[in-house]
Structure 1
Amino acid sequence: MLDWDDLRIFLAVARSGSFVASGRALGLNHTTLARRLTALESSIGTRLFDRSPRGVQPTKAGLDLIEHAERIEDEVLAAGRRIEGQDGAVSGVVRLSTPEAFGTYFIAPRAHLLNAAHPQIELELAPESRTVNLSKREADIAISLHRPDQGRLQAARLVDYRIGLYASEDLLARVGPIETLAALRSQPFISYIEEMIDLPELRNLDRSLAKRCVFRSSSVAAQMEAVASGLGFGLLHCFAVGPHMRLVRVLPDAVEVVRSYWMVLHADLARVPRIRAVADFVAERVRAEAGSF
């Protein structure tokens, strides 16, 4: 008889290819995890992984088991979603996944307002530039840069936002005013590490503008600090730029990218009170401050 907890461990190792990484994700010591998998293999009389110094790879039997284990995982998660929150209490943990700029510069500074309204909710904010799988419960609510095209998901456009070109006051004092796109081409630029971006909407934003990149980061916050330091020009989220940063919008009529934020929830969780409360809070704050975007 296969045990779901053993299958959960098996899936984590199969997906990460590493005992250390999957142990960290599951909160287990990697030696304990390896021992559990060895016991699973012994109980079913089949080797599930080939082990090497580079990590682990599923065997043919392991690949076959992945298909069954993922179907079981889907059913377990679906059952949890269906019955979760039926007591109506507005309390508990809610994980909100967002693009980095939205989470860092909009949600985090306003989290105290959510706490004041719902003190029994524990908000877990995950601001990162990657796509999450709501069906696998990687998050309860996701703010996405596009409308999802599959899955039992509810999606609504939250707001359109602008990305503009910025430079520090100090940098502009050194190089002089930038009045044309041609003049911009010779200036130092700050951008993303493109191969580390999981969201296609963030790629190639500056290809037509920049000729010389002097700093790259996968972090929006790091890019903003580098621009503020006077290192170079950068494309930044307009709503995230505060007056204390002493940043100047450059060529606003010529350089502007408009994107949209979408709020996405799994249909089975949309009426869970604590999740509904967080979703409503985000929507209400965005509506109240729509002009800043």
Structure 2
Amino acid sequence: MDWDKLRIFHAVADAGSLTHAGDALHLSQSAVSRQIRGLEDSLNTTLFHRHARGLILTEQGELLFDATRAMAKRLDTATARIRDSEEEVFGELRVTTAVGFGTLWLAPRLTKLYDRYPDLKIDLMLEERVLDLPMREADVAVRMKEPSQADLIRKKLMSIRMRCYASKTYLEKRGHPETLDQLSSHRIICQAPSAPQVAGGASLIHKLLANDVGSTLTVNNYFGVLQAVIHDLGIGVLPDYLIEEFPNLERVFPDIESSEVPVFLAFPEELRHSKRVAAFRDFVQEEIMAHRRSIRELRERDEDI
């Protein structure tokens, strides 16, 4: 298939007009039209419905546009990687992490990264599914367990624990339980034990729900759990890194927590020399060090009170 014709087809499909595509490509409308007719002839199909208001893709045209759009994105990504230099950090970086960590810890800190590298474009993919880094579903992953995929560079960033928290308003209204057998008059907010989550969190949830709990609310990610907790709905199972950002939360059952949950950063071996990956890695490590200092200062302050 003629790559030049595909490039012109993509421009026309994107613009919805021969004229606008020609302007973008610095070609005459007639030249663009000839290329499109030639592509349709080679494929023995019609790619556009033509009418007075412009062009609309046919079903076959939609299939081809999906393919050229994916090709264009991969070419843009490859171009940005090739242009990586020691002095500049720019282009797209696809980062994947869990919904809770990405929403509650990472996203609020990205202002600092963009201030440092204004030409960086981050595609933040928040999902519990573990994307395949060697197959390039993402460039960098931050995960709550050590990656098992081969050919990855990995670094342990920190460890977290799942703990029980409630808002001060909720505890003033419903009382501060001291033991698990007092849960009968409280609501537990957590992920469902069967939902994809860190093993330590699931074990803690099983331990809590083994008691006579008055009521439950299950949510499929920690962001939803947090929203319910800060709106005074009950006692939530949440990661301990939230206490810095949400000082109105109080810990419940201070002697009960999950096992240690490691947080890893990983990326494919082939991106070892990528300036964008290095910039993101260094930024995350700096923010974790700052986070640790803040937590330490909070603990020291609480001990002094």
**How many positions carry a matched residue from both structures?**
231
Q: Name the residue aligned to 2:257.
A: 255
**Distance (whole Å) between structure 1 residues aligned to residue 85 and residue 143 of structure 2:** 29
Structure 1: runs of 5 or more not aligned: 6-28, 37-75
Structure 2: runs of 5 or more not aligned: 7-56, 65-73, 297-305
1:120 matches 2:116: no
Query: Which amino acid in 2 is paired with 1:225?
Result: Q
Alignment of structure 1 residues 126-275 onto 2, 5 Å:
126-184=125-183, 187-197=186-196, 200=199, 202-210=201-209, 211-212=212-213, 213-241=215-243, 246-275=248-277
Displacement of 1:98: 1.6
SS in 2 for 1:136: coil
* Larger gyration radius, structure 1 or structure 2: 2
Q: Name the residue aligned to 1:54.
A: none
**Distance (whole Å) between structure 2 residues aligned to residue 181 and residue 278 of structure 1:** 42
Contact 1:191/1:223, CA 8 A, preserved across alignment: yes
**Distance (whole Å) between structure 2 residues aligned to residue 33 and residue 276 of structure 1:** 40
Displacement of 1:87: 4.6
CA 1:200/1:113 → structure 2, altered by over 3 Å: closer, same or farther? same
Moved more, 237-246 or 91-100: 237-246
SS in 1 for 2:277: helix
CA 1:232/1:32 → structure 2, altered by over 3 Å: closer, same or farther? farther
Structure-2-length-normalised TM-score: 0.65
**Distance (whole Å) between structure 2 residues aligned to residue 137 and residue 249 of structure 1:** 40
Structure-1-length-normalised TM-score: 0.67
Displacement of 1:237: 1.5
1:99 matches 2:98: yes
Alignment of structure 1 residues 70-85 onto 2, 5 Å:
84-85=82-83
Q: Name the residue aligned to 1:288.
A: 290
SS in 2 for 1:268: helix
CA 1:222/1:173 → structure 2, altered by over 3 Å: closer, same or farther? same
Residues 186-227 of structure 1 show CA distances to partners (whole Å, capped at 9, x for unaligned) of 532111134442655543431111244521111211111111
SS in 2 for 1:225: helix
More relative contact order, 1 or 2 (CA 8 Å, 6+ apart): 1
Alignment of structure 1 residues 64-75 onto 2, 5 Å:
none
Query: Which amino acid in 2 is paired with 1:278?
Result: F
User: Share of identical aligned residues, percent?
Assistant: 27
Q: Name the residue aligned to 2:22.
A: none
**Distance (whole Å) between structure 1 residues aligned to residue 197 and residue 257 of structure 2:** 24
Contact 2:193/2:206, CA 8 A, preserved across alignment: no
